[in-house]
Amino acid sequence: MNSITFLGTGGGRFVLLSQRRYSGGLWLYLESTIILDPGPGALIRALQFKKDPKKLDAILVSHRHLDHYNDAELMVEAMTYGMKKDRGYLVINKDALGYISDYHKKSVRLIIPNAGEKFRINDLEILAIPTYRHEDGIGFKFFSKRGTITYTSDTGYSEELLDYYRDSRILILNTIFPASKEIETHLNTKTAAMIVKEVKPELAIIQHFGMSMLNASPEREAKWMENETGVRTIAARDGMTIDLKNLMESKEEGQLKLDEF
């Protein structure tokens, strides 16, 4: 099954430190097995949601913030069977590379893409896409057999990014703030809606929620976006899996009770 599982939907320092939402990143089965932005707790959450880190083909890190790279070395150890076997890819933004030890780098194949560059993990083609006003990070566009999935990563809103988001079946937007909080370095619900309205994915998913977003209710914000854009929009929950065949949500074994915040 080609699928996306949210090992964490929290973002920003205070949610990270309180773990009001988890911060494990995303687990993707898209022909290849990938963990995307393994923040603190990625290994624990992977195991909790019955994912096998030894089966990873690649670890992707979008930028140098702790909530995106913290468990990258740990996942390298898991992917390489405890550093016993050279295997897998570490795809990492150039500024985040400095946080990875030489010891961990030597057991993986390193890919350090610039925004606009394509690379492959086995049969899966991926485009590194730019971000706006956020640490020169990169987002990712996955050209899977079940359709194109785009992950904005943390970014501000810029019209120039819209073309990179187009033609996506699923658009995953790191929407840290509710509509009421304006900020240039991140998306809020309002700017996320501006993107969705323009690029019209089949499904929009908001995630990476900060404290003010959790207090405002991500579900309510997603509903507002859906009304505003006419595009089905959901607020991700910890442990949620999306089956790409029919874009349905399915439950994971080992899933904890959701929405306890």
Distance in Å, CB of 209 to Zn ion, minimum? 10
What CA–CA distance (Å, rounded) separates 33 from 65? 23
Contact status, residue 212 vs residue 20, Cβ threshold 8 Å: no
Q: How far is the CB of 258 from Zn ion (least distance, A)?
A: 21
Residues 155-184 that bind Zn ion (CB under 5 A): none
Please select the residue that binds Zn ion; options are 57, 154, 238, 252, rule is CB under 5 A: 154
| Nearer of residues 65 and 141 to Zn ion, judged by Cβ | 65
Residue type, 232: R
Stretch that binds Zn ion, among 4-12, 40-48, 70-78, 219-227 (CB under 5 A): 4-12
Q: Name the residue nearer to Zn ion (CB basis): 76 or 187.
A: 187
Residue with Cβ nearer Zn ion (67 or 221)? 67
Contacts of residue 228, Cβ cutoff 8 Å, sequence gap at least 6:
193, 197
Contact flags string 38-77 toward Zn ion, x per CB under 5 A:
-----------------------------x----------
Closest to 213 in 3D by CA, of 192, 233, 236, 189: 189
| Contact between residue 62 and residue 153 where contact means Cβ atoms under 8 Å apart | yes
How many C-beta atoms surround the C-beta of residue 204 within 10 A?
Answer: 26
- Which range of residues in 8-16, 17-25, 45-53, 75-83 is near Zn ion by CB under 5 A? 8-16
User: Can you point out the beta strands (E) in 13-117?
Assistant: 26-30, 32-36, 58-61, 89-92, 109-111
Location of structure tokens 């929950």: 237
Q: How far apart are CA 76 and CA 82, in angstroms?
A: 8
Question: Applying CB under 5 A, which of residues 11, 24, 137, 201 lies at the interface with Zn ion?
Answer: 11
Give the shortest CB-18-to-Zn ion separation in angstroms. Answer: 15
- The distance of closest approach from Cβ of residue 40 to Zn ion in the complex, given in angstroms and rounded to an integer, is 11
Among 130, 140, 192, which residue's Cα sits nearest to residue 36?
A: 140
Q: Least distance (Å) from Zn ion to the CB of residue 79?
A: 22
Work out how close the CB of 200 gets to Zn ion at its nearest, in angstroms, rounded to a whole number: 25
- Closer residue to Zn ion, CB minimum distance, 25 or 113: 25
By CB under 5 A, name the binding residues for Zn ion: 11, 67, 154
